[in-house]
């Protein structure tokens, strides 16, 4: 069975600073990896996904993530954050052979002026 | 417009009553999911269905039941056996592994 661990529950950062949100996963088989964002009292929206190929994946709103198979990580980065990036971010994994979608505990990103 | 709709947005129930949360999608997706969200615990999988008339338990299925009689509908019943039902419930649909999961806006259930 697969699992996802997001290493930081809260990340406070100043506007225009870089940010990294960390995600590690555990699985005995090949997986797909995702990052989603959730604004207050709403559903989740896909930021980016890794299926195969290049390990550096670019998503919406200037976010990118790097898949590291040896470290079983999929950290999310943005070089310069905005106030509007304040939200909760979820890392998710699913097995490539039709597996269920499993989420991490979430990281609350708080961008301060 | 294609999408996934959860209703109602807010729901209040008395302790001991069963309640059913609605989830409908018109995206023609095969897979549908129910998650429960509590502060600091992320999204925990309750039930999922990868095809009509079939569904599997997730990590926290106790006290919940589902049905998948139609491709577009995946209602969740929170039964009186669920010890702590107050939470935010999210429904999602997905065409297949590796594709984007689309989420509803959620239902906030409060049991008093």
CA distance A62 to B24: 32
Q: B79 with B65: CB under 8 angstroms?
A: yes
- The phi-psi region of residue A40 (left if phi > 0; otherwise alpha if psi is between -120 and 50; otherwise beta) is beta
Nearest-by-Cβ selection for A51 from B44, B56, B98: B98
CA distance B8 to B110: 12
Least Cα separation, residue B27 to chain A (angstroms) = 16
Comparing A44-53, A78-87, B71-80, the range with the smallest average pLDDT is A44-53
Beta carbons of A101 and B92 less than 8 Å apart: yes
> What value does the mean pLDDT take over residues B67-92?
95
pLDDT tens per residue across span A28-44: 888 899 999 999 878 89
List C-alpha distances in Å: A110 to A49, B50, B68.
Answer: 23, 36, 39
B106 and chain A in contact, CB less than 8 A: yes
CA distance A36 to B100: 10
Q: Which tokens in the block code for residue A63?
A: 């976010």
Q: Which tokens in the block code for residue B21?
A: 């949360």
Confidence of residue A96 (pLDDT cuts 50, 70, 90): confident
Confidence of residue B1 (pLDDT cuts 50, 70, 90): low
């Amino acid at each position: 069975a697969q699992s996802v661990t997001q290493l930081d529950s809260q990340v406070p950062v100043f506007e225009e600073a870089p940010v990294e949100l960390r995600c590690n996963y555990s699985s005995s088989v090949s997986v797909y990896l995702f990052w989603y964002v959730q604004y207050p009292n709403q559903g989740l929206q896909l930021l980016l996904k890794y299926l195969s190929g290049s390990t550096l994946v670019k998503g919406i709103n200037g976010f990118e993530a790097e898949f590291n198979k040896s470290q079983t990580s999929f950290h999310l980065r943005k070089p310069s954050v905005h106030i509007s990036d304040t939200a909760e971010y979820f890392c998710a994994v699913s097995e490539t052979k039709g597996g269920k979608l499993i989420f991490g505990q979430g990281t609350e990103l708080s961008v301060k002026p | 417009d294609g999408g996934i709709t959860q209703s109602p947005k807010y729901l209040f129930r008395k302790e001991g009553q069963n309640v059913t949360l609605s989830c409908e999608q018109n995206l023609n997706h095969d897979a549908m999911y129910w998650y429960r969200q509590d502060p600091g615990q992320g999204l925990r999988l309750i039930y999922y269905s990868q095809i009509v008339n079939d569904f599997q338990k997730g990590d926290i299925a106790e006290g919940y039941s589902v049905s998948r009689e139609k491709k577009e509908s995946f209602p969740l019943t929170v039964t009186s056996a669920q010890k702590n039902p107050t939470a935010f419930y999210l429904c999602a649909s997905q065409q297949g592994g590796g594709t984007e999961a689309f989420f509803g806006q959620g239902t906030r259930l409060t049991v008093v």
